[in-house]
């Protein structure tokens, strides 16, 4: 019994100056059916809570590693280091997927939704990382199906070949998979837009003039998508819509500045104009 | 697939989800209605005249549980069987309520704690998650805690009705329940909050017992109890 519980007990006794309680307590048969069943409940609840805690821990690890991957991807400054960083990020994401595999193993035979709250933050962050990498590679949005396809795990040995050769429906015993829910996917994508906004500002700083326009267009598409969903989705999704709108505005303003000032200022000075411009935007955000 | 196509697909999923929830809400409303009816029947035991009538009231309540079974059977069909916890929040509350009502009936009939298996049988659902629509253990325990509050009230009212032996039996019962709950390592969740309320029920019942014993009324009661039973 925890210390907390002990304190509670003490308090309780304080409010009972008379001695009834003791006597009655002693008369309780500790092997009675009630006690026996509560002992079973104890075991059941402990097992459940332990599993939940393990999943929270895994989820946290997934979040941290995903965040690191995102930072790594932000370090792409010019064409020369793109390949190198993409390879490195792939390694990192593989590590994250190993963690997700552990989650999938933990959830084997369980109702995923029972523990959904434990793992959902990690999965969202993973979607953010994986979609960011995908965007850098292909300049498009990764689909939910593609995300989930990467989360089918097979036993490391021989079965690896099977996985590569086909999407054979014959499920082996040693297959685990976990599905990112549509809502987690949406929330992950919403967070992605924040990263894209940063990438846009950074790329101007690096003298990359084309990327901001590409990003602006892409963000516009995502914004349209979210507007289409509107508030039919759960509350969290509608909440993100607001942040998304702000990110989009920043990127659009950046593009505007680029267009207007770009014609008159030499490329190397543009970055300076820009960093001061974004500062102003950030300050405005702070006020609102 | 273009971005807009993806979002259209996602929107479709969300709408389907909403539709399921809407269906579930309808059934849950009907369940709540039935639960209120059962409660109304059982509330009768707190009134002076109700004490003689307990078996009758239990019988009536049990008839209502037939309706509960029907509703629960229809609830099962509203969503995919392996997604119980996705929609759990919708019926969680009413299920706890029904557990309480079933536990109350069983207590009134036999003065024992209803087992989880017995509740699931009364409600026509499963005890094991693997078998389908089941009773979550936390919901069962929550329902049992509601029973404790109700028994505290019953102890008071049975004294008013002149039954001095019942509070003593309730006291023994509730103490055993309390020891049972002490075995559990609860997290800081809603069940824990409910459990923290249990001590007030224990306190209330002990006050009643104290009042009776200090006046020697419990001695008289143990003699009288035999006749009553």
Q: What is the ipTM of this complex?
A: 0.87
- Average pLDDT, integer, range A29-51: 88
pLDDT of res. A263: 66
- Average pLDDT, integer, range A60-67: 96
Weakest-pLDDT range from A85-94, A246-255, B67-76: A246-255
**Are the beta carbons of A225 and B88 separated by less than 8 Å?**
no
DSSP β-bridge partners for residue A177: A152
**Are the beta carbons of B210 and A38 separated by less than 8 Å?**
no
pLDDT of res. B153: 93
* Partner A contacted by B81 (CB < 8 A): no
* pLDDT-derived band at A277, boundaries 50, 70, 90: low
Distance from CA of B115 to the nearest CA of A (A): 8
Has residue A3 got a pLDDT over 80?
no
Weakest-pLDDT range from A125-134, A162-171, B80-89, B96-105: A162-171
Weakest-pLDDT range from A35-44, A76-85, A161-170, A214-223: A161-170
* Partner B contacted by A45 (CB < 8 A): yes
**Are the beta carbons of B8 and A44 separated by less than 8 Å?**
no
- What is the pTM assigned to this prediction? 0.81
Q: Which residues contact B11 (CB under 8 A, 6 or more apart)?
A: A228, A229, A232
Q: Which of residues 148-177 of B touch A (CB under 8 A)?
A: 171-172, 175-177
- Average pLDDT, integer, range A160-189: 70
CA of A47: which chain B residue's CA is closest? B185
Averaged pLDDT score across all residues of chain A: 80
**Are the beta carbons of B203 and A25 separated by less than 8 Å?**
no
pLDDT of res. A274: 62
Q: Give yes or no for a contact between B85 and A113, defined as CB atoms under 8 angstroms apart.
A: yes
- Average pLDDT, integer, range A229-233: 80
Q: Which residues contact B64 (CB under 8 A, 6 or more apart)?
A: B34, B37, B38, B41
Has residue A112 got a pLDDT over 70?
yes
Other Cβ atoms less than 10 A from the Cβ of B134: the count is 18
DSSP β-bridge partners for residue A176: A153
Check residues A265 and B184 and name the one with the higher pLDDT.
B184
Has residue A6 got a pLDDT over 50?
no
Q: Which residues contact A94 (CB under 8 A, 6 or more apart)?
A: none
CA of A18: which chain B residue's CA is closest? B210
Has residue A68 got a pLDDT over 90?
yes
**Are the beta carbons of A228 and B187 separated by less than 8 Å?**
no
pLDDT of res. B189: 87
Closest partner residue to A186 among B10, B171, B196, by Cβ? B10
Has residue A173 got a pLDDT over 80?
no
Which regions in chain B score pLDDT beneath 50? 224-229
The string of DSSP letters for B74-139 reads HHHTTS-GGGGGGSHHHHHHHHHHHHHHHHHHHHHHHSSPPPHHHHHHHHT-BSSGGGSSB--HHH
Residue A252 is assigned to a ligand binding site: no
Of A31, A36, A29, A10, whose CA–CA distance to B175 is shortest?
Answer: A29
- Average pLDDT, integer, range A213-242: 87
* Partner B contacted by A220 (CB < 8 A): no
Q: Reduce the secondary structure of chain A to three states and give it as a string.
A: CCHHHHHHHHHHHHCCCCCHHHHHHHCCCCCCHHHHHHHHHHHHHHHHHHHHHHHHHHHHHHHHHHHHHHHHHHCCCCHHHHHHHHHHHHHHHHHHHHHHHHHHHHCCCCCHHHHHHHHHHHHHHHHHHHHHHHHHHHCCCCCHHHHHHCCEEECCCCHHHHHHHCCCCCCCCCEEECCCCHHHHHHHHHHHHHHHHHHHHHHHHCCCCHHHHHHHHHHHHHHHHHHHHCCCCCHHHHHHHHHHHHHHHHHHHHHHHHHHHHCCCCHHHHHHHHHHHHHHHHHHHHHC
CA of A1: which chain B residue's CA is closest? B185
Other Cβ atoms less than 10 A from the Cβ of A113: the count is 15
């Amino acid at each position: 019994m925890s210390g907390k519980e002990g304190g509670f007990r003490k308090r309780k006794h304080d409010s009972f100056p008379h001695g009834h309680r003791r006597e009655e307590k002693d008369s309780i048969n500790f092997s009675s059916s009630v006690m026996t069943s509560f002992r079973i409940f104890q075991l059941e609840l402990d097992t459940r809570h332990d599993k939940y805690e393990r999943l929270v821990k895994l989820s946290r690890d997934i979040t941290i590693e995903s965040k690191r991957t995102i930072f790594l991807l932000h370090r792409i400054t010019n064409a020369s280091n793109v390949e190198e960083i993409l390879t490195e990020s792939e390694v990192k994401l593989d590590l994250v997927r190993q963690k997700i595999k552990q989650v999938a193993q933990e959830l084997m035979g369980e109702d995923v939704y029972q523990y959904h709250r434990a793992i959902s933050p990690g999965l969202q962050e993973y979607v953010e990382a994986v979609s960011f990498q995908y965007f850098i590679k292909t300049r498009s949005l990764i689909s939910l199906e593609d995300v989930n396809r990467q989360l089918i795990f097979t036993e490391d040995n021989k079965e690896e070949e099977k996985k590569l050769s086909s999407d054979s429906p014959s499920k082996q015993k040693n297959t685990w998979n976990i599905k990112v829910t549509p809502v987690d996917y949406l929330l992950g994508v919403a967070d992605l837009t924040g990263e894209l906004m940063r990438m846009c500002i950074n790329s101007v700083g690096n003298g990359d003039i084309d990327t901001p326009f590409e990003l602006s267009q892409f963000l516009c598409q995502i914004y349209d998508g979210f507007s289409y969903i509107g508030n039919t989705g759960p509350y969290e999704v509608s909440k993100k819509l607001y942040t998304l709108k702000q990110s989009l505005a920043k990127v659009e303003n950046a593009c505007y500045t680029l267009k207007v000032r770009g014609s008159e200022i030499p490329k190397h000075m543009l970055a300076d104009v820009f960093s001061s411009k974004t500062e102003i935007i950030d300050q405005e955000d702070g006020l609102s | 697939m273009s971005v807009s196509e993806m979002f259209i697909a996602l929107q479709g999923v969300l709408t389907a989800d909403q539709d399921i929830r809407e269906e579930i809400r309808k059934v849950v409303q009907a369940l709540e209605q039935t639960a209120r009816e059962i409660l109304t029947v059982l509330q009768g035991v707190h009134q002076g005249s109700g004490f003689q009538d307990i078996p009758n009231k239990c019988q009536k309540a049990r008839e209502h549980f037939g309706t509960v079974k029907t509703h629960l059977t229809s609830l099962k069909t509203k969503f995919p069987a392996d997604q119980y916890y996705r929609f759990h929040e919708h019926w969680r509350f009413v299920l706890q309520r029904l557990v309480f009502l079933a536990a109350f009936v069983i207590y009134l009939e036999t003065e024992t704690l209803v087992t989880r298996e017995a509740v699931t049988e009364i409600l026509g659902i499963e005890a094991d998650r693997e078998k389908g629509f089941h009773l979550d253990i936390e919901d069962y325990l929550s329902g049992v805690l509601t029973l404790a509050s109700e028994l505290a009230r019953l102890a008071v009212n049975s004294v008013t009705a002149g039954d001095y032996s019942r509070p003593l039996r309730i006291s023994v019962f509730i103490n055993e329940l309390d020891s049972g709950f002490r075995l559990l390592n609860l997290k800081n969740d809603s069940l824990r909050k409910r459990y923290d309320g249990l001590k007030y029920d224990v306190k209330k019942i002990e006050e009643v017992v104290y009042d009776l014993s200090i006046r020697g009324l419990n001695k008289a009661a143990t003699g009288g109890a035999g006749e009553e039973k």
